[in-house]
């Protein structure tokens, strides 16, 4: 069994490579850093340090789980999003870089002096709501999710980032649990939008480990989006905004679902790969 940091990384990376894990050396370094409680620079500059036996055992167990496809983020328990560190576990979707576009789009509409009332539908880890509240110090939010376990994660993240007093978490299937709330200035949602027919084509990390309710939305992936487009206008003030993340091939289909009597299509924003990713709508007066 390897004893030093360098040996551990070399052998571990080979094991992950054989298991089909992308970027195996980077992932092994992240796992080992998690076990040691050290950052990447420590790992790089202490290659000859000897690991303790209990550290080797813990690392080996995590390595085996990663080799079987369990996401690195669930093993370490965290993921960065919009420059903030979020707790994640199998009860919540792992925040993606492309979802940061949703936050950036919202912040382009509301500057820091504004005090919008925000609703986040399907909040999961709470990453979108919390990132917005950190950037909009006068904002308030209601974050809903159908999963009580997900909301517990979101509450802990809100407390960690000192915004818990400005956000209310509600168990709700879309808007069903907040029918009596005042009109919002902004509704944001990263809803389930993966086609159930595409389940087998997903990476094993996604298909086998992330919560299905946060991923799949019917045969065409649009069942939740249809509902949101029909209902969101009832919860927005006139001229309020609705920002929605969509799948890589859904822009045309979602655009066709937009009722021009309710919504003005502001723009469809592409992510860093040029994929249409965030739809911005404004409620008509």
Residue 187's alpha-carbon distances to 15, 16, 215, in angstroms, are: 44, 41, 20
For residue 206, the model assigns a pLDDT of 96
**Mean pLDDT, all residues of the chain:** 96
> Which percentage of the chain shows pLDDT scores above 70?
100
On whether the pTM is more than 0.85, the answer is yes
C-beta of residue 7 within 8 angstroms of C-beta of residue 48: no
pLDDT in tens, 27-58: 999 999 999 999 988 998 999 999 999 999 99
C-beta of residue 31 within 8 angstroms of C-beta of residue 76: yes
In this predicted model, which residue has the larger pLDDT, 81 or 200?
A: 81
**78 confidence band (pLDDT: 50, 70, 90):** very high
For residue 119, the model assigns a pLDDT of 98
CA distance 88 to 125: 7
CA distance 213 to 129: 19
Tell me whether residue 71 is exposed, middle or buried, using C-beta atoms within 10 angstroms of its C-beta: 0 to 12, 13 to 18, 19 or more: buried
Dihedral of alpha carbons 95, 165, 186, 222, sign: positive
- State the average pLDDT over residues 170-181: 94
CA distance 7 to 47: 8
- State the average pLDDT over residues 64-79: 98
For residue 204, the model assigns a pLDDT of 95
For residue 285, the model assigns a pLDDT of 78
> Which percentage of the chain shows pLDDT scores above 90?
94
CA distance 233 to 228: 9
Q: Which residues of 40-69 are buried (b: 16+ CB within 10 A; e: fewer)?
A: eeebeeeeeeebeeebbebbbebbebbbeb
Q: Taking 70 as the threshold, does the pLDDT of residue 216 lie above it?
A: yes
Q: Which residues contact 129 (CB under 8 A, 6 or more apart)?
A: 118, 120, 123, 141, 143, 154, 158, 167, 188
For residue 177, the model assigns a pLDDT of 95
203 by DSSP, 3-state: which? coil
Dihedral of alpha carbons 44, 45, 49, 55, sign: negative
Q: Which residues contact 251 (CB under 8 A, 6 or more apart)?
A: 268, 276, 279
**1 confidence band (pLDDT: 50, 70, 90):** low
Domains of the chain, each with CATH number or no CATH: 5-68 (1.10.8.10), 79-283 (3.40.50.150)
pLDDT in tens, 239-272: 999 999 999 999 999 999 999 999 999 999 999 9
* Helix locations, the chain, DSSP H: 5-18, 24-36, 40-45, 53-67, 72-76, 100-109, 127-135, 148-160, 204-209, 223-231, 251-257
Phi, psi torsion values for 189, nearest 5 degrees: -155, 135
pLDDT in tens, 218-237: 999 999 999 999 999 999 99
pLDDT in tens, 82-126: 999 999 999 999 999 999 999 999 999 999 999 999 999 999 999
- The conformation of residue 48, written as its DSSP 8-state character, comes to T
């Amino acid at each position: 069994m390897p004893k030093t940091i360098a040996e551990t990384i070399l052998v571990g990376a080979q094991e992950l490579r054989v298991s089909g894990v992308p970027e195996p050396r980077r992932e092994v370094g992240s796992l080992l850093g998690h076990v040691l409680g050290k950052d990447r620079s420590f790992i790089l500059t202490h290659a000859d340090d000897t690991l303790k036996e209990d550290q080797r055992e813990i690392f080996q167990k995590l390595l085996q789980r990663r080799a079987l496809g369990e996401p690195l983020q669930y093993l370490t328990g965290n993921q960065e999003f919009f420059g903030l560190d979020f707790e994640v576990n199998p009860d919540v979707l792992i925040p993606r870089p492309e979802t940061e576009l949703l936050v950036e789009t919202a912040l382009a509409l509301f500057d820091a002096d504004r005090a919008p009332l925000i609703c986040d539908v399907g909040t999961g880890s709470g990453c979108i709501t919390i990132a917005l509240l950190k950037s909009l110090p006068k904002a308030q939010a209601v974050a809903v999710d159908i999963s009580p376990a997900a909301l517990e994660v979101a509450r802990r993240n809100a407390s960690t980032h000192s915004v818990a007093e400005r956000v209310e978490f509600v168990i709700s299937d879309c808007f069903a649990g907040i029918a009596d709330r005042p009109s919002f200035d902004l509704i944001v949602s990263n809803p389930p939008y993966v086609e159930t027919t595409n389940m087998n084509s997903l990476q094993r990390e996604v298909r086998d480990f992330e919560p299905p309710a946060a991923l799949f939305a019917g045969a065409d992936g649009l069942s939740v989006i249809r509902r949101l487009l029909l209902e969101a206008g009832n919860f927005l003030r006139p001229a309020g905004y609705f920002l929605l993340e969509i799948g890589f091939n859904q822009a045309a289909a979602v655009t066709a679902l937009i009722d021009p009597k309710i919504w003005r299509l502001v723009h469809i924003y592409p992510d860093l790969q040029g994929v249409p990713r965030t739809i911005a709508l404004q409620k008509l007066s």
